[in-house]
Structure 1
Amino acid sequence: MAPSFFRQVSRRRKQAPAAVQAPGALTTKAVRRDKRSRGVALIIAIVSIALLTVVATEFAYNSRVDLQLAANQRDEVRAYYMARSGLALGRLLMRFQKQVDQTPIPNPMAMLGQLGAMMGGGQAPGAAGQAFQPQSLNIQLWKLARVDCHMLKGLVKSEGAQVEDDSGGGTRSRLENDPVDVDPNFQMEDGDGAGGAAAQMASQMQRRSFGGFEGCFLATITDEEEKLNVMRLNTGGAEAQATAARMLDMLGDKRFEFLWQQDDANKVRSTPEETLIALKDWADEDPSQSALNRQDPTNPFAVGFADEGSPYSRYEPRYEVKNGRFDSLDELYRVHGVNDRFMAAFRDRLTVYPDINSKPNINTDDPIMLGLAIM
């Protein structure tokens, strides 16, 4: 058995190569640790870029949404004031129409009679016993004039109006304080020339600027008394008879037969007579369904025994009859038998706004309404 000294020496010799390889092993661990650090940094960079991309995308989206909201609000304000401009121009035109209606014109026959009497001759035929009777001008300006943005541009001075530049030639935009051009040949009754009352009148008559505007509008003026008033169906007597007869003739016209040959959105099909009765029952105070009585010249509607709300029980959802005055023309949509096709055909020929005692106006250019007025 070898001494312990030799055993320790041999053990140290066997462990020496391991001590020599230790630095290489440490280098490999450092490389692995460095690779792990670089992998974590790459993941952090990718996550950071992804977060920044999400934040930038959200910011760009919010910016676009805010811009679109601002544009929508601008368009809403522009459309509102365009509509008010059309309404104001329509009222201005109706004011001119009132002045035209109040403008008298002489009676030609009476003038010829007076002229013959002054000259000592005979009077014109039919002029005997007639006094001077003025007549108004029968001119409908609201039908002749087109109320739109082009009329407004003709009344309001443009922001971009160009005038001659006195300093260096050329043109420039007109300013509010620029002098007004006055015709030197214009003379007032008091003899003042271009420097007196003429300049004052010209300064008052010049078109003033109210700011630039974009877009266009079109205002349509209609006479509600030219249309058939649905509310007259409940007046009774001759007016209700005449209104019911004219409305039946219009609804039963051959050109509108296709309206009654198809079901509506509620799978319900109606007839002109049923629709006329439904219009009458919607506004009357009687809860019973009316019946059409064409033989009675004083009252075209007789009180029936059925429930006037029975046609609406087939609708989804169900609703009751109003038994009150129509508030608007769109309320006709709630009446049995009235749908989009009905309103497309008769919306411009029906009304609920005028007073039931107002006289209808037969001066219309609608051939259907003119034919009903003649018949």
Structure 2
Amino acid sequence: MLNTKQKTLRRFWYAIMPMEHLADGPKPFTLLGEKIVLFLDGEGKPAALEDRCCHRTAKLSTGWCKDGNIVCGYHGWEYDRTGKLVMVPQFPERQAVPNARTRGFHAQERYGQVWVALDDPIADIPDVPEDVDAGFRRIPQFYEHWKTSPFRLMENSFDAAHIAFVHRNTFGDINDPVPEQYKIEETAEGFTASVRQEVVNPAHAQKITGEPAGKTMRNMVNKWYVPFYRRLDIEYPSGLRHIIFNCATPIDDGNMQLTQILFRNDTEEDCPAADLVAWDEAIVREDKDMLECTDPEVVLDLKMRTELHMVTDRPGMIMRKRLLQVFHDNGEEEYVEGAAPVLAAE
């Protein structure tokens, strides 16, 4: 699967950037290979257009905002939030503005982020009820570029077998490489994977978890939403909840953006946000280093046998099956680049 070749992926919402990044003017972004520009309209709501002026093709992201519209920095042509050309400064008042436009895309704010769908959405942004729960605080954690594909990150997020090895310096135990198996329940949006897992709580993490150092058992409910969203609810024995919500946004076929938000049922006085970001950053960095050395192209059809699998890979195998079904339901097949190598039979 190459993300830019799968038209159905254009019909989902993706987290693009924090709303605050638009406070000082338009910003460019590449989504599924599409060059877009984001800006705030007259009501302070996000808008997304093709990053291309229909006059001389200049990037609108090099311009500025004026009364809720975006102005091209080349000749001052002005567009509204839908992409319609509304003003040409070189025309006299008696000359009508041409009936022209640059393409507009769906945009909205959610969880403090700008979300964009390139085509008419077929699913909503996943709901995180803690965002409106007064007992929880929202902590933006990561907004960064990774040289891998969204599927690799999603699959890794449910791969319990990698913890003992990739995270041996944070919370994994390399001497205990066989993880507990997830209890998986498929849903209309994806699946829920639940497990009670024994892990290591390092001494320096006691403020994070509210529990003593050493081996500990944690309840974890990990949810995957088609295509590239994940919500991990970790319940520590102390009663603290550490809820991670992330979106793996496809930039192109070999690059993605990680947007990650944390929800906690404590206060800044209990545990500073900077400490929570630092704790999760150490873990995320271990994943990033490993995933960036994998092949970003993932073949979804298990019959093609481009990769071997084991029992703990079941979540990723379900992801493959479900994405193939989504593509099929929307009238397309998986795109695979070239002839994939075939591994030896078992």
Larger radius of gyration: 1
Q: Fold-level match, TM-score > 0.5?
A: no
State the TM-score bracket (shorter-chain normalisation): under 0.3
TM-score, length-scaled by structure 2: 0.24
Q: Whose helix fraction is larger, Structure 1's or Structure 2's?
A: 1
Higher RCO, 1 vs 2 (CA within 8 Å, ≥6 residues apart): 2
Q: Whose strand fraction is larger, Structure 1's or Structure 2's?
A: 2
TM-score, length-scaled by structure 1: 0.23
